[in-house]
Amino acid sequence: MNFKKICVLGLGYTGLPTATTFATHGLRVVGVDINPKIISTLQNGGIHIHEPGLSTLVQEAMRSGNLTVCAAPEPADAFIIEVPTPFYHDERGVHEGKPYRRADMRAVVSATEAIVPHLRKGNLVVLESTSPPRTTVDLLIPILERSGLKAGADFFLAYTPERVLPGNILRELVDNDRVIGGIDHASSQAGRDLFAIFVRGEIVLTDATTAEMVKLMENTYRDINVAAANEFSRLAERFGVDVWEAISLANRHPRVKILRPGPGVGGHCVSVDPWFFVEAAPDLASLIHTARMVNDSQPTFVLESIRKAAGPLAGKRIAVLGLAFKEDVDDLRESPAVEITRMLAEQGAQVKAYEPFKPDAQYDAFATVPSLESALEAAEVLVILAGHTVFKALDPQQVARQTPARLVMDTRNVCDPAVWKAAGFRVVRLGDGKKKL
């Protein structure tokens, strides 16, 4: 197929990079978002997300005229749906005493309905939002066929999983292999023709439901492996073992690669996608559900670890370093760091939280500050919840001059305990049952 104009619905962490990449490869791209602040920011030369290199590319695409942004879709050769699919708690469905978390598909439904008035014969519609299996077939087809056109006969329809890492999106968008699943072979081929415009990785064709399941499997696999690491950290506490030493030694086995424990799992993918399997087949997804329970409860384990190290939390002045769900990104969605900070405040701690990649973030439950110095001032305890490079590079001697705190709770293993001890700090690492320092 020959694509000249495409419409990307949703200008978030993957939608905006996708729209920009197509625009920089010569296509006319209409970027659509229902958030007026996002539209205004982009039209005024700004950018609403932190991603290395993206701001420059967006400005170039806007100046060239290839990328325009607006609040509603327009007629195009192809439509790509990149809207969020969060979960919500459903008290009606209970599995082992726990409420289900179900996929919230309202944004996908709304975006699909917005395409209907503009759908023409020969168009391609691609869903990229992470979705439960059979979403493309069972949800999108009936909506799109309200146009009077038949899926497969009159227009092409496909699903392709987003599989990029925040902080490295622009490279992975181009270089990673791309899976495209159509409702029929012609739709798969049409999807391949579209993404071949910029994808350098291998483009592999399958059916839509398989492609949907591939995305969920990838993130569920990671979630289960993180759950194992987090559970190992709890066992290490119980048995008086340094989990970091144990993992390092276990990983010397040629077929073992244990991941790092941490404060929990966050972001819009790994912490969300496994629930779609639990929702769709609760009788078969017992391992997946258990891994979710482990990772969702990790913030409580961290809170108890802080309490053991610091004593009663009521009135304690605590500096929280990092609110993002992973290192060197500004993504706070489903972040366990935010949950832990909220729980500290609920315990009566006087919290000052500093997130260098989103210093203007605001929460009702706790105070945020725009600088590291503001967080450190008068703190009694430092809690590191994100492994940002800036925190790894901290000079403990300088930190010691900026704060009266001498206890550091390191949930990301970013501090060298010996170096910080020399500066007068006691470092408590998550899962260090030996309590050497």
Q: Among residues 215, 316, 326, 352, which one is catalytic? A: 215
| CA gap 229, 243 in Å, rounded | 9
DSSP string of 41-87, one letter each residue: HHHTT--SS--TTHHHHHHHHHHHTSEEEESS----SEEEE-----E
- Residue 54 sits in which domain range? 5-201
Long-range own/partner contacts, residues 43-47 (CB < 8 A, 24 or more apart): 43/69, 47/16
Which CATH number belongs to the domain containing residue 27 in this structure? 3.40.50.720
Domain count, the chain: 2
- For the chain, what is the mean pLDDT? 93
pLDDT in tens, 81-90: 999 998 776 6
| Confidence label for 264 from pLDDT (cuts 50, 70 and 90) | very high
Same domain assignment for residues 34 and 181? yes
Which helix or strand (DSSP H or E) is residue 17 part of?
Answer: helix 15-24
Rounded to the nearest 5 percent, the helix, strand and coil shares of the chain are 40, 20, 40
DSSP string of 356-410, one letter each residue: TT-TT---SSSEE-SSHHHHHTT-SEEEE-S--HHHHT--HHHHHHH-S--EEEE
Weakest-pLDDT range from 12-26, 53-67, 81-95, 383-397 = 81-95
pLDDT in tens, 43-56: 999 999 889 999 99
Domain end: 201, 236, 263, which one? 201
pLDDT of 363 above 60: yes
| Confidence label for 211 from pLDDT (cuts 50, 70 and 90) | very high
| CA gap 357, 175 in Å, rounded | 26
Which helix or strand (DSSP H or E) is residue 228 part of?
Answer: helix 208-239
pLDDT in tens, 149-194: 999 999 999 999 988 887 889 999 999 999 999 999 999 999 999 9
Same domain assignment for residues 396 and 255? yes
Same domain assignment for residues 273 and 194? no
Same domain assignment for residues 197 and 212? no
- The DSSP bridge pattern shows strands 203-207 and 178-182 to be parallel
Same domain assignment for residues 296 and 172? no
Q: Among residues 269, 326, 352, 415, which one is catalytic? A: 269
Q: What is the structure's pLDDT at 141?
A: 98
Q: What is the structure's pLDDT at 94?
A: 54
Same domain assignment for residues 143 and 241? no
Q: What is the structure's pLDDT at 437?
A: 43
Domain end: 201, 230, 256, which one? 201
| Residue 188 φ/ψ, nearest 5 degrees | -60, -45
Q: What is the structure's pLDDT at 97?
A: 54
Cβ burial of 247 (10 Å; 0-12, 13-18, 19+) is buried
pLDDT of 100 above 70: no
Which helix or strand (DSSP H or E) is residue 317 part of?
Answer: strand 317-321
Identify whether the C-beta of residue 124 lies closer than 8 Å to the C-beta of residue 8.
no
pLDDT in tens, 396-405: 999 999 999 9
* Average confidence (pLDDT) over 218-226: 96
Weakest-pLDDT range from 49-53, 345-349, 379-383 = 49-53
| Confidence label for 92 from pLDDT (cuts 50, 70 and 90) | low
pLDDT of 280 above 90: no
215 among known catalytic residues: yes
Domain end: 149, 177, 201, which one? 201
269 among known catalytic residues: yes
Tokens of 393: 């590079």
Same domain assignment for residues 265 and 388? yes
| Residues 132, 133, 139, 145, CA torsion sign | positive
Same domain assignment for residues 54 and 142? yes
DSSP string of 124-180, one letter each residue: EEEE-S---TTHIIIIIHHHHGGGS--BTTTBEEEE------TTSHHHHHHHS-EEE
Weakest-pLDDT range from 111-115, 147-151, 279-283, 297-301 = 279-283
Tokens of 156: 């092409």
**Helices marked H in 176-207:** 185-195
Same domain assignment for residues 137 and 257? no
Tokens of 194: 């579209």
| Confidence label for 41 from pLDDT (cuts 50, 70 and 90) | very high
Tokens of 8: 């990307």
pLDDT of 96 above 80: no
Cβ burial of 174 (10 Å; 0-12, 13-18, 19+) is middle
